[in-house]
Amino acid sequence: MNFLESRFVKEVSEITDNMYHQGWDERNGGNISYMIDEEYVREYFPKDVFVRDIPLGFTADEVLRGKYFLVTGTGKYFKNIIKNPEANLGLVKISDNGQVAHLLWGYKDGGKFTSEFPAHLMSHAVRFKANPNNRIIMHTHPTYTICMGACLPADEVIFTRKLWKSNTEAVVVFPEGVGVLPCMVCGTTEIGEATANKMKDHRLVTWTNHGIYGAGNDIDEAFGLIETVEKTAQIYMLTLGHVVNEIPDEVIIGLAKLWNLKMMPGVIEEK
């Protein structure tokens, strides 16, 4: 069986094409990592035969060692993935010591994984411990989400409240709220650790002036979370300073009760 024809490559190719056409991933912006269970990898690779090793630049958590990831490449454009997946994606296995990614497939032009892969792995480790079904970490640059972050303090309670008060879907889709980081240097261990720390409680984390991270059990869940934030941020920005019909607190509380949701504390308090 040819891994190029696998559902995993097709899913990543299709979603990155979608994200590019949403206008979220200019140039080489954005990255995705997809944890693939060994049983599915073995359908295409009966044995591990590595093309080469790529240093991770840090030591991955023990929970990820021996795990397989399909990862977008560094310097690669989302718009090109669907046309040439084998040059723009790579399938890697995390080494037993957590310091190396063994390449099984992809990066055929000599490339490597995204510079954000260490940050992805830190978030994967946290989300996997919180939810063993988590498979996706997705990073992108949605326009209105970045605009909204530029207009508000880097405070997750304020940011979450503005979202919840702008769209009734928001509290239903992400009742745990959105984590918020201040503007930081991307591609560093520091921002990776800070993101992972927020991922302990949130599936969504915004990087002020940069973009957003989303985690999910599958491509649709991670994309849907980010899509809902971006749609709601668009509503907020388009109505900024002109809102008359803001969603009442009691409606948000009613939605949470209707759907039996555990809301992020401190955002909306029942009176």
The single residue of 26, 38, 116, 227 carrying the catalytic annotation is 116
Residues in the chain: 271
Closest among 240, 232, 184, 239 to 209, alpha carbons compared? 184
Residues 32 and 82 in one domain: yes
Residues 144 and 214 in one domain: yes
- Whether 206 is in a domain gets the answer yes
Residues 109 and 46 in one domain: yes
Q: Where are the alpha helices (DSSP H) in 37-115?
A: 38-44, 78-81, 85-88
Residues 170 and 103 in one domain: no
| CA–CA distance, 19 with 209 (Å, rounded to integer) | 19
Residues 197 and 253 in one domain: yes
The CATH code of the domain that includes 12 is: 3.40.225.10
State the residue range of the domain holding 76.
1-115
pLDDT digits (tens, 9 = 90+) for 165-223: 999 999 999 999 999 999 988 888 899 999 999 999 999 999 999 999 999 999 999 99
Helix (H) or strand (E) holding 33: strand 31-36
- pLDDT value, residue 241: 76
Quick check: is 43 catalytic? no
- Whether 125 is in a domain gets the answer no
Residues 167 and 237 in one domain: yes
pTM of the model: 0.93
Residues 187 and 246 in one domain: yes
The domain tally of the chain equals 2
- pLDDT value, residue 203: 97
- pLDDT value, residue 44: 97
- pLDDT value, residue 97: 97
- The residue type of 126 is V
Question: Would you place residue 271 in the very low, low, confident or very high pLDDT band (cuts 50, 70, 90)?
Answer: low
Residues 177 and 265 in one domain: yes
pLDDT digits (tens, 9 = 90+) for 71-117: 999 999 999 999 999 999 999 999 999 999 999 999 999 999 999 99
Residues 183 and 266 in one domain: yes
Residue with tokens 């991307």: 186
Residues 111 and 222 in one domain: no
In the sheet with 52-55, reading across from the earlier edge strand, the strands are 52-55, 100-106, 89-94, 68-72, 31-36, 136-140, 211-216, 204-207, 179-181
The rounded mean pLDDT for the chain is 95
pLDDT digits (tens, 9 = 90+) for 23-44: 999 999 999 999 999 999 999 9
